[in-house]
Amino acid sequence: MSKLLLFLFLNLFLAASLSAQKINSDYQLHIQKASSEILIDGALDEQAWLDAEVATDFFMITPMDTSFARVRTDVRMTYDDENLYLLVENFHAVEGPYMVESLRRDFSFGKNDNFLLFMDPFDDQTNGFSFGANAAGAQWDGIMYNGGSVDLSWDNKWSSKVTNYDDKWVFEAKIPFKSIRYKKGITEWGINFSRLDLKTTEKSGWAPVPRQFPSASLAYTGILVWDEAPPQTGANISVIPYALGGFSKDVSSGEEAVYRKEVGLDAKIGLTSSLNLDLTVNPDFSQVEVDRQVTNLDRFELFFPERRQFFLENGDLFAGFGYSTIRPFFSRRIGLNAPIQFGARLSGKINKNWRVGAMNMQTGKVKEDELPAQNFTVLALQRQVGARSNITGLFINKQSLNYNPDPDAEAPIYSQFNRNVGLEYNLASSNNLWTGKAMMLQSFGPDNVGNGFVHAANLKYTAGNLTWSWQHEYVSENYTAEVGYVPRRGFYKANPQVGYRWFPKSEKILSHGPDVSTTFFFNKNGEKTDNTTFLAYNLKWRSQSTFMMWTSTDYVRLQRPFDPTNYSGDTLATGTEHQWYAMGAEFTSKPQSVFTYAFTTRLGGYYANGERYNVTAELGYRFQPYVSITMNAGYNEIHLPEPWNTTSFWLVGPRVDVTMTNTLFFTAFVQYNEQIENINLNTRFQWRFKPASDLFLVYTDNYLPAPFYTKNRSLVLKFTYWWNL
């Protein structure tokens, strides 16, 4: 199978290299310099808008992709020496109020009437930016990577206004050229516009996109044709200082409260219109929302995504290398147990075909943990090949500074260094039907400890009805990525998958069809250690409700002791074999209702001839557009022989989002996790008093459930200001 995959890669590499013509090159919107001053007020009353060319006659993407959209959308764009302007008229197709969750920034796409702009200012069909709003005026912005993924954690300086009329809602935006990166001198950008109207359940795009792909797919953008090259931004330097005060108190240890008075600084320096230098001194990320907890019954470490702003722009150069469980670089390892003192990051486009990323971060010493000061260096160089494919080289170095471990110790607490070198080919055909990657990694450590090798590859075909993929992975026992996320080592994995969808001519059902996959793990001797075979049937209604029912069979031969409850401390022995069958279902209600709900169920076997039952539910209610209330609850019940017997866990998480305006937000949520015996309370108030400038007030408490006892608490008041020089 590996030889066949290599053969297909070589043929597709040749095809991708020869296919440079854009699919939707006939869809062109001409943009000219504004003929008058523009006020961002959500009104079509300036001469510049009357003179601008109009993009209209959108194509339907869902429920069908074979006709024009029923809902009319008109888009105009213009610019001046400093800003790019956008005005969109979103007409109503049927009577009734708009549908939104709240005024919360970076809203959930499928739960809001919205308009989104996707632009590829590098014209490489791989990287770009997205801006938009819902019908109540909540903003959306994100950085685009991998040809169609959007990271909404990215945040930048821009302004917008939404005004509602009887027959339409109008979205008007001003995006400073300094807030985006673009290739110098080119007069054609990839661009597309997406509209979601929940009353008609219609998603549409200006340039047509096949329904099996997201509307964000950069392979299917049209062209924004400039009357002249976009203006150079000149000195592009932004300074973002912060100041905070607060306290934290570890009540459980009886220690005195620790008071914080800190200042720090971030800076963004645009070296060119497409190459940026980010600097940070004494960064603080106290305003970043805490992770959503989960019940952990897995044998391996769980993954939680990066949310810190400094690591996000062009983050795919570093963090996108590898697969979900083979990440040689995972930025959350930096500053995990030690404060970050300073850092620098250079990233962006050198020219049409080359991207570069270079990062250096320095953490301080933690005496009580004997953790030395550490330096992290990451270098990435990417070369575009063909229309949308690329080759990336990666180097990672983690170095302990002034660290001299006891030579008589059996093993040092921390390594003196860990290095990774890798090469990866990312395949994306011009029409996006074929995608995949092939990668190799080598790790290095002191005295050859931690020297190991990784190889992995996958190939995926996505057509209108049929989807199939093959993926295999090999990770040696000694492979080490101390700055990465590789929860499992010493295995070979093979994973074929196939799915099919029918799209009937029905007034109620949009699509239905099966998915089948099987995953095998083998150890270094070629012996099977794991196998999961999964069969599901999916149903999607035109109302956007979804239902899935599934069944699976699992086999595990444990490679190390494992507690199947991740709670009791009692473990199953290495080498024991376990096999079981399970089944379940998932349902999500239509997003148009102010009351929404979803549930999942699972019942069947478990380790040691046991049984596991699981149900999760989410209830939501919104008083649009100001208040959104959700309740998440999960229950697990595990029946095992002695010494475990019956174990049960609740995980409950109510949440309230209050959005008084699209610049004033309050969020409060509680997480009760019975498995780790903790109640977490987190509240956050945010006032965006100017674009990308904020005042935060964050309060966090952790409690022991029974008896109800405070473990620790903290309060932080933080002020940030975005200042363009």
Query: Residue 680: is its pLDDT beyond 50?
Result: yes
Q: What percent of the chain has pLDDT over 70?
A: 96
Contacts of 14 (CB under 8 A, 6+ apart): none
In this structure, are residues 600 and 610 in contact, taking their beta carbons and an 8 Å threshold? no
CA angle 718, 719, 723 (to 5 degrees): 150
- Provide φ and ψ at 446, rounded to 5°: -65, 140
Q: Tell me what pLDDT residue 18 has.
A: 44
> In this predicted model, what pLDDT tens digit does every residue of 308-320 receive, in sequence order?
878 877 788 898 8
pLDDT value of residue 474:
98
5 pLDDT tier (thresholds 50, 70, 90): low
How many Å apart are CA 482 and CA 704, to the nearest integer?
Answer: 32
Out of 192-206, 405-419, 537-551, pick the least confident: 405-419
Q: What's the CATH fold of domain 32-226?
A: Immunoglobulin-like (2.60.40)
**Of the given ranges (280-294, 450-464, 599-613), which has the lowest mean pLDDT?**
280-294
Residues 6 or more apart from 334 whose CB is under 8 A from it? 340, 361, 363, 376, 483
The model's pLDDT over 402-443, given as tens digits with 9 standing for 90+, comes to 887 766 666 667 789 999 999 999 999 988 899 999 999 999
The H or E element that residue 74 is part of is strand 73-79
Question: For the chain, what is the mean pLDDT?
Answer: 92
Confidence of residue 13 (pLDDT cuts 50, 70, 90): low
Q: Is 524 helix (H, G, I), strand (E, B) or coil?
A: coil
- The contacts of residue 410 (CB under 8 Å, 6+ apart) are none
Tens digits of residue pLDDT in 17-55? 444 567 999 999 999 999 999 999 999 999 999 999 999
Please write the tens of the pLDDT for every residue from 494-533.
Answer: 999 999 999 998 889 999 999 999 999 999 999 999 999 9
**Mean pLDDT value of segment 353-367:** 93
Mean pLDDT value of segment 645-673: 94
Q: How confident is the model at residue 183 (pLDDT cuts 50, 70, 90)?
A: confident
pLDDT at 101 over 50: yes
Residue 9: what pLDDT? 54
How sure is the predictor about 486, in pLDDT bands with cuts at 50, 70 and 90? Answer: very high
Summarize pLDDT for 567-582 with one digit per residue, the tens: 988 999 999 999 999 9
Q: How many residues does the chain have?
A: 725
pLDDT (tens digit per residue) in 363-389: 999 887 788 999 999 999 999 998 889
Q: What was the pLDDT predicted at 420?
A: 97
Nearest to 29 by CA among 185, 181, 169, 193: 193
Higher pLDDT, 352 or 194: 194
- pLDDT tens per residue across span 691-725: 889 999 999 999 998 788 899 999 999 999 999 87
- Give the residue-averaged pLDDT of 641-666: 94
138 pLDDT more than 90: yes
Q: Is the pLDDT of residue 360 over 90?
A: yes
Matching residue, tokens 């596991």: 612
> How does pLDDT run across 207-241, given as a tens digit for each residue?
999 999 999 999 999 999 999 999 887 778 999 99
